[in-house]
Amino acid sequence: MEEFNPNRYAVITEKNPREIVMLRGTGCCWHRCRFCDYHLDSSKDEAENFTLNREQLLKVTGIYQKLEVINSGSFVDLDAPTVELIIKICTEHQINQVHFECHWLHRNAIQAFRKRFFNYGIELKIKTGVETFDTLFRESYLDKGIDADNPQEIAEYFDEVCLLQGIPGQTVEGMDQDIQTGLAYFERVCVNIMQENRKPIKPDPKVIAAFAKEIYPKYIDNCRVDILMENTAFGVGGVVEHAE
Ligand code: SF4
């Protein structure tokens, strides 16, 4: 038996201060990435998802007028009442910017979603996990499911990118190049350092040590770069506890 009782609400006070909620959707439609088990935080029971999401959304105060919504997948996986409640909460608390996650698969749903929020005076920032701009590595090793070959094409749809670093085969030069490409084409870059989970790709301690020595000091004070050395660094998330 497995239990997953993560913290699902937090306030980020540094760099682009915002509130963050980790909601639950019906699950990532792609779910093939060879490094990810986040998508296991999902349920096909939309009523239960809404109950859980409502409890977290009611904690939002609007302290920074910005909210980030993550849901281990894409915004399209959230149930309709949850999306309606997000809009209501934003309106009530004068939140004028919301960040959502979205996989490349759903890029054509973004424009209408932006417009829907824009009609309430809310600007959306859509974040996608690119993990690396090295297409061959990304698609043949990570199985990310992005059939775009260049950052310009991805930036036509998305405002922010997540990168995955600390995995076997990465070099300091390659990781640095990915961050620089991210900064050149996107508003913000979030670097996630790989942490072990139940999927086949494991963290590489040597690559992580090289990142900590060479890359971290270079970008830690950059207000457009978030660096998550632990996947709970934003104050939400946790690990699946095996309780069998
Ligand atoms: S990394 Fe994102 S797209 Fe890939 S399986 Fe996990 S939730 Fe889905």
pLDDT digits (tens, 9 = 90+) for 235-244: 887 654 433 3
pLDDT digits (tens, 9 = 90+) for 42-58: 999 999 999 999 999 99
> What is the SS3 assignment for 168?
coil
72 lines ligand 1 (CB under 6 A): yes
* Helix 46-57 with 80-92: angle, nearest 10 deg: 10
Query: How far is ligand 1, taken at its centre, from the CA of residue 94, in Å?
Result: 31
31 lines ligand 1 (CB under 6 A): yes
The per-residue pLDDT for 237 is 79
Report the chain's mean pLDDT, rounded to a whole number.
94
**Residue with CA at minimum distance from ligand 1 atom 7:** 73
pLDDT digits (tens, 9 = 90+) for 125-149: 999 999 999 999 999 999 999 999 8
Q: Locate the domains of the chain by residue range.
A: 2-242
**Residue with CA at minimum distance from ligand 1 atom 4:** 33
Q: Ligand 1, residue 35: give the atom nearest the CA.
A: 1
Closest CA to 25 of 9, 39, 8, 42: 42
| CATH of 2-242 among 3.40.50, 3.20.20, 1.10.10, 3.30.310 | 3.20.20
Q: Ligand 1, residue 32: give the atom nearest the CA.
A: 5
Query: How far is ligand 1, taken at its centre, from the CA of residue 101, in Å?
Result: 10
Determine contact, residues 131/103, Cβ cutoff 8 Å.
no
The per-residue pLDDT for 236 is 87
Determine contact, residues 191/178, Cβ cutoff 8 Å.
no
Percent of the chain exceeding pLDDT 70 equals: 95
